[in-house]
Amino acid sequence: MHTTLLAPRFLGIAPLLLIALLGCSPASDSAKTETPAAAVAPAAATAPAPSPDKAAEQTAPAAPDNVSAKLQSYITCYNKLDGRAHRTINRYSSWVKDMKAGPTGNEKVIYGLYSLFSDDVKECVTEFEQASALRPALPALDSAGKAYIASLAATDKLVAEAYTYYDRENYKDDKFAKGKALHGPLAASFESFVQASTVFSQALDVENDNLLSAQLAHIEKTEGRKLPYYQMALMAKAKQLADVLGDETFDAAAAAPRLEAFEAITDEAMAFVKPQKDALPIEWPSFESSAEEFRKASKERFRRVRDNVPYSTGERSMLKPGSGWMVDGSAEKLVKAYNGLVDASNRM
């Protein structure tokens, strides 16, 4: 049984095919790049294969196979490349104190940046071309995908050059001349990529939700509310909840129904499986545990915003990439729990 979803993308920490929550927004002219609150890798929503005795009686899924294949190709590459691209932007902007002016050569610490793995980028350029050619066309998604992969490929060329320069510490030989020359094009490519990434991830989100909805309806109609249905329905409600709670600010009154809906479907799912523990997939206990962790992280996040609980000085010092997940009620902790749930679901 395998249910994959597109994870939401949050502005705050970086988002599995469920796209897992990603996280990085580009540095603006006046601000440093922050890691968005959300992401692991994504997976397109794929309905579990029907059992042999059901196959003959099932009609074709509501969503065409090509839509699933198209999303799977897009999301696989997105999960492989997007998070790393955001991390290299964050790494570079962590030591370049003014992203508008660029490096001075007098920085005490020079981290350089991360490689984007050019072979993977090239492979995904081909994957995107093939996915776009699949019918039916999804104009908004295909167009966003074309812009996204073109921006990523352009960024990769600049990053590869800059990575070599900083990795070999060549700035010690040219008084930072090339580093300064590379900064303008590099920063511009980062800004372009982040914009394209945001548009593409949103388009993926819409189409993944459409496909998931169609598959849920099909499973419920042909098989009823059994384990495949509950896994997919639980993940759909989790994603809808994470989409809201992962924002830096949100309307608690508007978020409350989503939290209630997630808890209701989770309780219903757990009640369904309780009498048949011995017949469950071996991955189920991990999935169930991850669902409970996400539930608790969601309630902590919801209460902090609903009750307007400020972060303490110590908590504020930890609200950064790598440690923000340790703060109760933080978007980072919510995203980590959500991505863990996505991972557990994608292993089913």
For the stretch 269-285, pLDDT in tens is 999 999 988 888 999 99
What is the rounded CA–CA span in Å between residue 45 and residue 327? 31
Confidence tier at 64 by pLDDT (50, 70, 90): low
Q: Check the CA dihedral 220-225-231-237 and report its sign.
A: positive
**pLDDT value at position 203?**
94
Q: How does DSSP classify residue 311?
A: P
List the chain domain ranges: 52-346
| Strand ranges inside 106-245, DSSP E | none
Q: Which of 18-27, 149-158, 234-243, 244-253 has the highest average model confidence (pLDDT)?
A: 149-158
Q: How does DSSP classify residue 135?
A: S
Q: Which residues pair with 20 in a beta bridge?
A: none
Mean pLDDT of 52-72: 58
CB-based contact 12:37 (threshold 8 Å): yes
Report how far apart, in Å, the C-alpha atoms of 15 and of each of 79, 192, 233, 306, 328 are: 8, 18, 20, 24, 19
Q: Check the CA dihedral 93-97-99-102 and report its sign.
A: negative
Q: Scanning the structure block, which residue is given the tokens 């409350």?
A: 256
CB-based contact 233:265 (threshold 8 Å): yes
Say what the pTM is. Answer: 0.72
Q: What string of DSSP letters covers 27-62? A: --SSS--B--S--S------PPPPPHHHHTTPPPPS
What is the rounded CA–CA span in Å between residue 328 and residue 298? 10
**pLDDT value at position 242?**
93
For residues 214 and 140, the model is more confident at 140
Mean pLDDT of 232-244: 93
Residue 127: closest CA among 44, 52, 55: 44
User: Cis omega (within 30 of 0) on the bond before 50?
Assistant: no
What is the rounded CA–CA span in Å between residue 127 and residue 139? 17
Residues in the chain: 348
